[in-house]
Amino acid sequence: MHAIRISEYGGAEVMHWTELPDPTPRQGEVLVRLGVAGVNYMDVGVRTGPAPGWTLPAILGIEGMGYVTALGDGVRDFTIGDRVAWYYHRGSYAQQIAIPAESLVRVPEDVDDETAASVMMQGLTANHLTTETYPIKPGDTAVVHAAAGGVGLMVTQMVKARGGVVIGLVSQEEKTPVAKEAGADHVIVSSGGGFEDRVRELTGGEGAHVVYDGGGTPTFRSSQSALRRHGVHAYYGPLMGVPSLTPTELPNSILLSHPLVRDHVPTREALLTRTAEVFDFVRKGLIRPIVGGRYALADAARAHADLESRRTVGKLLLLP
């Protein structure tokens, strides 16, 4: 089989289409033939520098969907030919992957392959952000960073599905229609900080109930200034920088949360429950992933370059 592997940290040029032995499923594992892999900013972070849980050489990728081709000893919940999807399994940029059965979910017949791959990482992240990090209630105002990006589009749609108001931030004017199509009530073009005054204007001087901030250090202070008293700053952009902070610097008695991947889906039960919720939203038409680019798996480096350029919108997918 072939996979996208890195042996050093750096730009997209360190990604190589590498021939490797076919994997064999071990006890409790399932062998999956890749159908679609999702591209995430986390993949870029792993490529550019040391990340917890990763060592070199490494096969990139953390999500996707595919087809069961073999079962390891002890696997009872899956059969050959099942369509399955996964959330955060390292090494997903590969034609074949051996994955623990407990990390897999079945893809419903009425959910297509690309949708299934598109909503695992970003859909489950958005679900956690809008239900546990800050549970959206009807009428709540949420500021959503990168509202035309993968997570931002999912968060926007989930806030709207729960009756909230969305102020979307986009980096370029041409991304405004994408955020609007997803349901954003207002869109602000901002490539960094400085948007807080406009947010306060749109909220009658009160500020937002929550800011979903994946923008990193450049947006950190403005996100906090855009919140109303006791608002929630959901900062999920650690790969883009972690600013220093002392508690006395927090304005308006706001609450700061740092949602992590391991907290989005901490158990097998949570994986099944949250995936069922997301797939149900898909069936009802409440969320619809927007695919911003499809690339051959062998051409994953180009997908990374496009993602980093901020030219893309929506979800980028890799096809074997």
Question: DSSP character for 23?
Answer: P
* pLDDT recorded at residue 202: 98
**What is residue 244's three-state secondary structure?**
coil
Contact between residue 157 and residue 179 where contact means Cβ atoms under 8 Å apart: no
Paired with 63 in beta bridges are: 87
- Note whether 158 and 183 are within 8 A (CB): no
Report the distance separating Cα 53 and Cα 104, nearest Å: 20
Contact 209, 134 (CB under 8 A): yes
> What's the confidence (pLDDT) of residue 236?
87
Q: What is residue 215's predicted lDDT score, i.e. its pLDDT?
A: 81
pLDDT, residue 239, reads 61
At CA 4, angle to CA 37 and CA 13, rounded to 5? 115
Instruction: Give the single-character DSSP code of 66.
Output: E
- Please state the φ and ψ torsions of residue 200, each to the nearest 5 degrees: -65, -35
> pLDDT value at position 165?
98
| Residue reference for tokens 């598109």 | 118
pLDDT along the chain (320 residues), means of 10: 98 98 97 97 92 94 98 96 96 98 97 97 94 97 94 96 97 94 96 92 98 89 96 81 81 90 88 96 93 96 93 92
Boundaries of every domain in the chain: 2-119+289-319, 123-262
Residue with tokens 């999956």: 32
pLDDT value of position 217: 84
pLDDT at 241: 66
Domain 2-119+289-319 top-level CATH class: alpha beta
- In angstroms, the CA 222 to CA 202 distance is 15
User: Residue 199 carries which side chain, given as an amino acid letter?
Assistant: V
Q: Whole-model pTM?
A: 0.91
Pick the CATH number of 123-262 from 3.30.2090.10, 3.20.20.140, 3.40.50.720, 3.10.180.10: 3.40.50.720
**How many CA atoms, within 13 angstroms, populate the side-chain half-sphere of residue 105?**
31
